[in-house]
Amino acid sequence: MKEVLAKNPGIEFLSQTGKWTLDEGRNVTENTLQRWPDLKAILCIGGEMALGAVEAVKAAGKDGKIIISSMDVYPAQVTAVKAGKVDFTISQAPQDQAYWSVVAAIRALNGEQVPQEIRTPVVIVTKENVDKYAEK
């Protein structure tokens, strides 16, 4: 994200941890909105942080004025996307991550070469396709 934003002059961004919790996600968003009241978008790496951002944006009276995005497609995120509270989330194919992690571990234990990086599908999940990618 930082690399892409750096190529777009005029876009300012702040990177700060929400410590993977709803409360910290809300706190970070509240503080950021004080600094940048005309904030346009929020990217949360964890779902709980996004739900906290949703609360802060609503409390600031900015529902629908700030794009909120997240990662993962677990039940609370599915509900938030369906309700339009989170604009989109990213599916990182957790089943594939788990499968290929086990395959890599077994191969390494057998003395085989294991790639440094194994990529799994990444999908932007919106209201239109959320049911297809919802984690069970």
Share of the chain above pLDDT 70, in %: 99
pTM value? 0.87
Model confidence pLDDT, tens digit, residues 6-30: 899 888 888 999 999 999 999 999 9
The Cα–Cα gap between 131 and 82 comes to 9
Smallest CA-to-CA distance from 67 within 90, 47, 87, 91 is with: 87
Evaluate whether 64 touches 38 at the Cβ level (below 8 Å): no
Model confidence pLDDT, tens digit, residues 90-106: 998 888 999 999 999 99
